[in-house]
Amino acid sequence: MLDHTRRHILVQAARSMNRMDLNQGTSGNVSLRVDNGFLITPSALDYDRYTAADMVELDMDGRVPVGSRKPSSEWQLHRDIYKHKKEAAAILHAHPPWCTTLACLERGIPPCHYTVAMAGGDSIACASYALFGSEELSHNALSALDNDRCACLLAHHGMVCFATDIESVLALALEVENLARIYVQALQIGEVPLLSSEEMRVVGEKFIEYKKQE
Ligand SMILES: [Zn+2]
């Protein structure tokens, strides 16, 4: 894929986050894996003002070419996920309201609905709190993403997820935000019954089958 095309895709993805109500202000960021590094949205710039040239390419040591904009303050979180999750080709981090509501309570999303398995496990974990932009945040997020999970909440912060392409990462983020909303709503009515680990295992296997057919 041409560099300009990739940059344009990233600009469109950032604007999609706004349209999908995944983003608040300029807190969300999205990235794409490229040869020897990744391309990420810049720090503190209104998404409507983004141009392809504003996207920032970093190598795996976090170095940016001279003249680039400053990368998102969460570039290290993206870098560390790319490093440890070989299948990750696109990453989205944001503070969507329903995910963040649960994250403020230090709660993840249990198997209240079968689509929790879309995030790769039988629950979506909430990573322990760490300062934004810190190495500890990456460490805690990676712990919450263990066992093939591809989405997690970040305590007192927001959520992060990854996928094999940009459309899939946007779809996954929206799914996780919908699940968070449904779980919070269900909690308001009463105790939420959960699916068993056996029921979730069967769902997980079926999702893997569907993916193979795509
Ligand atoms: Zn954040």
**pLDDT digits over 179-200, tens only?**
999 999 999 999 999 999 999 9
Q: Tell me the pLDDT tens digit for each residue of 82-119.
A: 999 999 999 999 999 999 999 999 999 999 999 999 99
Which of 3.40.225.10, 2.80.10.50, 3.40.630.30, 3.40.440.10 would CATH assign to domain 3-213? 3.40.225.10
Q: How much distance in Å is there from the Cα of 72 to the middle of ligand 1?
A: 9
Q: How much distance in Å is there from the Cα of 87 to the middle of ligand 1?
A: 22
Q: How much distance in Å is there from the Cα of 108 to the middle of ligand 1?
A: 17
- Under the banding of pLDDT at 50, 70 and 90, the label for residue 135 is very high
Q: How much distance in Å is there from the Cα of 132 to the middle of ligand 1?
A: 6
**pLDDT above 80: residue 120:** yes
Token representation of residue 91: 């990453």
Is 87 a residue of the active site?
A: no
Q: How much distance in Å is there from the Cα of 8 to the middle of ligand 1?
A: 23
Q: Where are the domains of the chain?
A: 3-213
Which residues are found with C-beta within 5 Å of the ion, ligand 1? 158
Q: How much distance in Å is there from the Cα of 78 to the middle of ligand 1?
A: 11
Question: How large a percentage of the chain has pLDDT more than 90?
Answer: 82
User: What are the Cα distances from residue 103, in Å, to 3, 21, 43, 77, 153?
Assistant: 36, 17, 23, 17, 6
Mean of all residue pLDDT scores within the chain: 94
Q: β-strand 151-154 against 126-127: which pairing, if any?
A: parallel
**Out of 57, 74, 167, 199, which one is annotated catalytic?**
74
Q: Are 157 and 95 in contact (CB under 8 A)?
A: yes
Q: What phi, psi does 6 have (nearest 5°)?
A: -60, -45
Token representation of residue 49: 């003002």
pTM summary value: 0.95
